């Protein structure tokens, strides 16, 4: 099945509408020239609903929708741990991390590291993040997005890559974060409507028209092995999600690195009007995270019954999209592309922010604001071009791109989490210890991968985290080196409102019920 004229019309209207809206929200008042704060931090004008929606839009992209649906097809509901645990992590980030970052008035995560440690730590992590964003995140989003367009619309992969890159550049390149964040509200609404409809369609199909609840019950009966939240060692996908480790171990490390210290995620909160708006936005995103598995995991499980025997798990979501009726298929296709271009816009903006503010401005100080904004736009465009060229060579041979992303980033995340955690909450942590943790995380991860390849990557992360923690603490105690700007924890205000605390409690209770039901 291919897109009909009605579907194409809906999709074209979405593309044109999004570009027009992005242009409108990007316009500056007469006489005001866009500066770095406007371009990289939306002029600190983001409200809670824009922050929450943009966090989810940046997070849910091709690697989430297609990749997690593929993992749902292969692994089952257990893969939803990545989504549900994220809701708890978000509430922790909002309470304990944001007050520290916003107090420092930073543009980037590497900038905080210089304030806490020194410029060498800032430079090393800035280069690392730029590399990961281009060669892991951007490439995976582009490749999986092109794969979906190929399956649904029959467009060749290379043209799909070019279209996605051009679309993302058209709506985000001029306006920067403001254009991305405010259009993300539309993207999220479209994404939720389209995703929920696809889940409804597949469950109703499984029940032969008997409704969603009947379809869900039938699905649990026909594919009971896909509803284990904690995988046993004899499960063929135990290596991807090794039992209790997925619930209490390294998944938390991954999430703290992603939601707490990841530039293209946390940048929205840094652009908030106030700490209160940032925290409300975080809470809103955490609530949306609770329903995300219905959109990105459940369709993949349903495909086990509807589309058994797929060549690769990542074909599950695109194949299900071909079942959509005329009109709705165009809407769901637009929702998928919305998720893709939103993440592309977010990532390229963060790449340009880190390069411009952490690297370029250091070596080329004193330039005009207009000059730095121009550099940011050039870097955004260049990163898209590089990612389009590298997408197929890097990802063409993987059946579960989501697992590829998690495993690759796991080489670095233990060190990153230790650098930030100890930096924020232990005054004796030194710059030498930070570099030791960063380098040690990669070297020891590579050694484990070579010497013990059968070890699940989440279990490997647990070992690496402990090793790097000992390395960081030992280096801090042995190498007497003082940082000029040691963060004082007592100066940070960790107070949160009553409503924020109640939302955190409600999220914990909901997740407890879910894990109790499908343990």
For residue 81, give both structure tokens. Answer: 């741990």
**Over the range 203-225, which residues count as b (16 or more CB within 10 Å of their CB) and which as e?**
bebbbeeeebeebbebbeeebee
For residue 249, give both structure tokens. Answer: 């171990």
Q: How far apart are CA 274 and CA 44, in angstroms?
A: 8
Question: Is the per-residue pLDDT at 247 higher than 60?
Answer: yes
Q: Find how far residue 198's CA is from the centre of its chain.
A: 22
User: Tell me: the pLDDT tens digits for 480-512?
Assistant: 765 555 555 446 778 899 999 999 999 999 999
CATH architecture of 5-19+41-402: Up-down Bundle (1.20)
Q: How far apart are CA 51 and CA 192, in angstroms?
A: 16
Nearby residues of 158 by Cβ (< 8 Å), 6 or more positions away: 146
Residue 310: pLDDT band with limits 50, 70, 90: confident
Question: Is the per-residue pLDDT at 152 higher than 90?
Answer: no
Q: How far apart are CA 275 and CA 99, in angstroms?
A: 7
Q: What is the pLDDT of residue 278?
A: 93
Say which range, 338-342, 369-373, 436-440, has the weakest mean pLDDT: 338-342
Half-sphere exposure of 258 (CA within 13 A, CB side): 24
Domain boundaries, the chain: 5-19+41-402
Q: What is the pLDDT of residue 483?
A: 54
Q: Which residues pair with 272 in a beta bridge?
A: 46
Better-scored residue on pLDDT, 256 or 345: 256
- In order of 144, 279, 297, the CA distances from 184 in angstroms are 20, 18, 22
User: Tell me: the pLDDT tens digits for 402-453?
Assistant: 566 667 778 889 999 999 999 998 888 999 999 999 999 999 999 998 999 8
Lookup result for tokens 């044109």: 16
Give pTM, 2 decimals.
0.88
Cβ–Cβ under 8 Å, residues 243 and 230: yes
Q: What is the pLDDT of residue 151?
A: 74
Q: CA-CA-CA-CA torsion for 170, 284, 202, 18, nearest 10 degrees?
A: -20
């Amino acid at each position: 099945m291919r897109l009909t004229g009605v579907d194409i019309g809906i999709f074209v209207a979405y593309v044109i509408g999004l570009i027009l809206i992005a242009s409108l929200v990007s316009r500056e008042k007469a006489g005001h020239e866009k500066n770095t704060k406007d371009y990289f931090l939306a002029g600190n004008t983001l409200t809670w609903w824009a922050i929450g929606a943009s966090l989810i839009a940046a997070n849910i992209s091709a690697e989430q929708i297609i990749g997690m649906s593929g993992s749902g097809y292969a692994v089952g509901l257990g893969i939803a741990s990545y989504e549900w645990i994220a809701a708890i992590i978000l509430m922790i980030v909002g309470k304990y991390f944001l007050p520290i970052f916003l107090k420092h008035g930073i543009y980037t995560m590497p900038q905080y590291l210089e304030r806490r440690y020194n410029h060498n730590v800032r430079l090393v992590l800035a280069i690392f993040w730029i590399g990961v964003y281009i060669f892991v995140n951007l490439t995976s989003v582009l490749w999986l997005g092109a794969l979906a367009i190929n399956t649904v619309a029959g467009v060749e992969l290379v043209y799909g890559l070019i279209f996605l890159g051009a679309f993302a550049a058209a709506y985000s390149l001029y306006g920067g974060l403001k254009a991305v964040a405010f259009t993300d509200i539309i993207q999220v609404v479209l994404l939720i409507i389209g995703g929920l409809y696809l889940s409804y369609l597949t469950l109703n199909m499984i029940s032969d028209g008997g409704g969603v609840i009947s379809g869900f019950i039938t699905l649990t009966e026909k594919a009971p092995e896909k509803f284990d939240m904690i995988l046993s060692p004899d499960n063929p996908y135990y290596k991807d999600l090794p039992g209790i480790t997925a619930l209490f171990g390294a998944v938390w490390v991954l999430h703290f690195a992603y939601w707490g210290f990841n530039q293209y995620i946390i940048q929205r909160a840094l652009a908030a009007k106030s700490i209160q708006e940032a925290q409300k936005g975080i809470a809103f995103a955490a609530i949306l995270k609770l329903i995300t598995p219905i959109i990105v995991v459940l369709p993949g499980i349903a495909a086990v019954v509807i589309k058994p025997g797929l060549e690769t798990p990542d074909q599950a979501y695109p194949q299900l999209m071909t079942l959509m009726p005329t009109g709705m298929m165009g809407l769901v296709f637009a929702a998928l592309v919305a998720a893709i271009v939103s993440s592309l816009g977010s990532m390229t903006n963060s790449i340009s922010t880190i390069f411009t503010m952490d690297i370029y401005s250091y070596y080329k100080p004193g330039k005009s604001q207009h000059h730095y904004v121009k550099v940011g736009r050039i870097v955004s465009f260049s990163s898209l071009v590089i990612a389009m060229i590298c997408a197929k060579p890097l990802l063409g041979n993987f059946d579960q791109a989501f697992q590829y992303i998690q495993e690759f980033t796991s080489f670095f995340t233990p060190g990153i989490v230790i650098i930030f955690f100890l930096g924020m909450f232990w005054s004796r942590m030194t710059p030498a210890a930070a570099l030791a943790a960063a380098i040690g995380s990669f070297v020891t991860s590579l050694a484990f991968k070579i010497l013990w390849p059968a070890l699940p990557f989440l279990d490997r992360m647990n070992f690496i985290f402990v090793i790097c923690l000992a390395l960081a603490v030992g280096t801090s105690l042995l190498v007497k080196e003082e940082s000029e700007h040691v963060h004082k924890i007592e100066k940070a205000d960790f107070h949160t409102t009553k409503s924020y605390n109640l939302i955190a409690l409600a999220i914990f209770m909901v997740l407890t019920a879910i894990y109790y039901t499908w343990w």
